[in-house]
C-alpha cells in the first residue's frame, strides 16, 4: 500500500495546528514528501515528526492544506466524508419547522473545509471552494441528495475563490433541474422570493434570519414604550428582508435604500407576497403588510443618509447591513472609514430611545475592531448610546472556536439614550 504523502512543518509553525486551527499556509511548510496532487490526502507532521492532522493538499493556494481531522485514528475516505455530511444535515433538522431556507453545511465548522451548502425548498445550492472538496465532489453530492431527498443541485461557487485555490471556474446545474427564475421560501411567518441563479451569496441572506426576527420584535415593542408605531430605515436593504419583517410587525413606515434597481424590484415583490389577502384560497395567512407604509429608494446609501438628515427626518429603528467593505487586511483603513461614516450618519438620524442594528460581514474586520469603529461614530455624533447586544449569524452558521475566521458576520444592537 502506497504511503500517504507528508507535509513537514517548520519549527514553531505547528502551534496553530496543534490548537486545531484547520488552515496551513504555504509559508509554514518546511517540506513535502511524496507527490500529492490537488486535493490529495496528506499527513501533517511537526518539525520533529509528530502527527498533527490529516489534510487536503492544495498546491495552487496560499492556504496550502486544509485539515480534515486532528485524530490520527481517523480514516479519511468516502465513509468518513458521508458521515460528516449526514451529521451536518442532522444538526439543522429542527430548523425545518422555522424556515425552508437553511445552511446545511458551513465549511470548517462542519469539518468540510471549503464546502458550503444551502437548502432552498427542494433545491440545494453549493459552493465548492477548496481542492479537497473538488476531488470528493461526487461522493459529497450523493450523500447530500440521499439524506435530504433533494434531487436538484445548483453550483454557485465563487469564481475568485476557486481561482485563488487553483481550481477551474465552474457553475450551473450539477444534479436534477435548473432552479426557476424565482423561488418562494418561507421564514417564520413570512415568505420571500429568492433568485438562486444570480442573487447575492447563494440567493438570500440566510445568515440574518434571527436578526430579521429581532428587528420585528423591536418594532412590536415600540408602541408599548412610545405609544406610536415605529418609523424604520433599512439601508443596503437588498431584497427587503429586514424591511418586510419590520412592516409585518406593524411599523408606521419603512424606508428602504439600495443601489440596485433589480434588488428593489424583488423587494417590492416580496412586499406584495406578504400583503394580507394575497394568499390563494385556503392557504394560511402568513403576512399582513400595508403597502403604503413602504418606501423604496434607489440610490447610494451614504448619500441618502445625508439627504435624510438634511430633510430633518428621524427614525426609531435603523438597520445598516452593508456589503463587504474589506476583503483583506490592506483594505482595513478604507473599510473603517466607510463603517464610521454610515454609523455616524445613522446615529444622527436616530430618535431618542431609538435602536440601531449595525452589521459588518467583512471577515477582515474582527468584532473588537468593528465595535471600536462604531464607538468612534458614537463619540463623533455627540450622543449617548447603550450597547444592548452583540449579534451574529443565525444558528446554522456556527463558529468553530479554533477557527475565528469563520465568524464573518458581526452585529451591534445600540440604543440611543
Q: Are residues 152 and 251 in the same domain?
A: no
For residue 195, is it within any domain? no
pLDDT on residue 285: 40
Q: Which domain holds residue 135?
A: 78-179
- H or E, element range at 91: helix 78-91
Top pLDDT among 96 and 278 is at 96
Same domain, 369 and 262: yes
Position 187 in a domain: no
87 in the same domain as 10: no
Nearest CA to 263 out of 243, 238, 241 is that of 238
Bridge pairing between strands 6-9 and 29-33: antiparallel
Mean pLDDT computed over 129-147: 97
Instruction: Indicate which residue of 67, 150, 235, 361 is catalytic.
Output: 361
Q: Determine the average pLDDT of the residues in 249-262.
A: 96
Share of the chain above pLDDT 70, in %: 96
Q: What does pTM read for this prediction?
A: 0.93
Residues 130, 217: one domain?
no
> Contact 8/34 with Cβ under 8 angstroms?
no
Q: Which of 120, 81, 253 is nearest to 199 (CA)?
A: 120
Please report, rounded to a whole number, the percentage of residues in the chain having pLDDT higher than 90. Answer: 92
Domain with residue 175: its CATH number is: 3.30.750.80
Question: Please, what's the largest Cα pairwise distance for the chain?
Answer: 76
Secondary structure (DSSP) of 110-135: GT-TTEEEEEETTEEEEEE-SHHHHH
CA dihedral 128, 132, 133, 138 (to 10 degrees): 130
If asked whether residues 253 and 394 sit together in one domain, one would say yes
Q: What is residue 290's predicted lDDT score, i.e. its pLDDT?
A: 67
Only one residue has cell 440610490, namely 299
Show the cell assigned to 2. 502506497
pLDDT tens track for 351-395: 999 999 999 999 889 999 999 999 999 999 999 999 999 999 999
The whole-chain average pLDDT of the chain stands at 94
Mark whether 173 and 231 lie in a shared domain: no
Phi-psi group of 170: left, alpha or beta (phi > 0 → left; psi -120 to 50 → alpha; rest → beta): beta
User: Is 362 contained in some domain?
Assistant: yes
* Boundary of a domain, candidates 37, 69, 101: 69
235 assigned to active site: no
Q: Are residues 106 and 230 in the same domain?
A: no
Tell me whether residue 131 is in a domain: yes
Count: domains in the chain: 3
Question: What is residue 280's predicted lDDT score, i.e. its pLDDT?
Answer: 42
Residues 158 and 253 in one domain: no
**For residue 293, what pLDDT is reported?**
85
Residues in contact with 327: Cβ distance below 8 Å, sequence separation at least 6, in sequence order: 362, 364
Residue 186 domain-assigned? Answer: no
CATH code of residue 23: 2.30.130.10
Domain identity same for 158 and 244: no
303-323 pLDDT, tens digit per residue, is: 999 999 999 999 999 999 999
Amino acid at each position: 500500500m502506497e504511503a500517504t504523502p507528508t507535509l513537514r512543518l517548520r519549527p514553531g509553525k505547528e502551534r496553530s495546528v496543534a490548537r486545531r486551527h484547520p488552515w496551513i499556509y504555504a509559508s509554514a511548510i518546511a517540506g513535502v514528501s511524496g507527490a500529492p496532487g490537488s486535493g490529495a490526502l496528506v499527513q501533517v507532521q511537526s518539525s520533529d515528526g509528530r502527527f498533527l492532522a490529516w489534510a487536503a493538499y492544495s498546491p495552487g493556494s496560499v492556504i496550502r492544506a486544509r485539515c480534515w481531522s486532528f485524530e490520527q485514528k481517523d480514516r479519511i475516505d468516502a465513509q468518513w466524508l458521508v458521515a460528516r455530511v449526514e451529521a451536518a444535515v442532522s444538526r439543522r433538522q429542527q430548523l425545518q419547522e422555522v424556515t425552508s431556507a437553511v445552511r446545511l453545511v458551513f465549511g470548517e465548522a462542519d469539518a468540510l473545509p471549503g464546502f458550503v451548502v444551502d437548502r432552498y425548498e427542494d433545491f440545494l445550492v453549493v459552493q465548492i471552494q477548496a481542492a479537497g472538496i473538488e476531488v470528493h465532489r461526487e461522493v459529497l453530492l450523493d450523500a447530500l441528495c440521499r439524506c435530504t431527498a433533494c434531487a436538484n443541485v445548483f453550483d454557485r461557487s465563487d469564481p475568485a475563490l476557486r481561482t485563488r485555490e487553483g481550481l477551474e471556474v465552474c457553475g450551473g446545474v450539477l444534479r436534477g433541474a435548473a432552479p426557476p427564475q424565482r423561488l418562494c421560501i418561507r421564514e417564520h411567518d413570512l415568505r420571500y422570493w429568492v433568485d438562486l441563479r444570480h442573487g447575492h451569496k447563494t440567493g438570500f441572506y440566510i445568515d440574518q434570519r434571527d436578526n430579521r426576527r429581532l428587528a420585528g420584535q423591536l418594532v412590536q415593542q415600540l408602541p408599548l414604550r412610545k405609544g406610536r408605531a415605529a418609523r424604520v430605515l433599512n439601508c443596503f436593504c437588498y431584497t427587503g428582508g429586514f424591511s418586510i419583517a419590520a412592516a409585518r410587525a406593524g411599523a408606521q413606515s419603512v424606508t428602504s435604500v439600495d443601489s440596485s434597481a433589480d434588488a428593489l424590484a424583488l423587494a417590492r415583490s416580496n412586499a406584495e407576497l406578504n400583503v394580507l389577502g394575497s394568499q390563494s384560497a385556503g392557504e394560511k395567512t402568513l403576512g399582513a403588510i400595508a403597502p403604503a407604509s413602504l418606501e423604496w429608494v434607489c440610490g447610494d446609501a451614504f448619500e441618502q443618509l445625508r439627504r435624510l438628515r438634511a430633510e430633518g427626518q428621524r427614525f426609531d429603528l435603523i438597520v445598516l447591513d452593508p456589503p463587504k467593505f474589506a476583503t483583506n487586511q490592506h483594505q482595513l483603513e478604507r473599510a473603517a472609514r466607510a463603517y464610521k461614516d454610515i454609523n455616524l450618519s445613522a446615529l444622527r438620524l436616530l430618535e431618542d430611545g431609538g435602536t440601531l442594528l449595525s452589521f459588518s460581514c467583512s471577515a477582515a474586520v474582527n468584532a473588537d475592531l468593528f465595535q471600536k469603529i462604531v464607538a468612534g461614530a458614537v463619540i463623533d455624533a455627540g450622543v449617548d448610546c447603550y450597547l444592548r447586544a452583540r449579534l451574529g449569524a443565525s444558528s446554522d452558521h456556527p463558529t468553530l472556536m479554533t477557527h475565528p475566521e469563520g465568524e464573518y458576520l458581526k452585529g451591534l444592537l445600540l440604543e440611543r439614550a
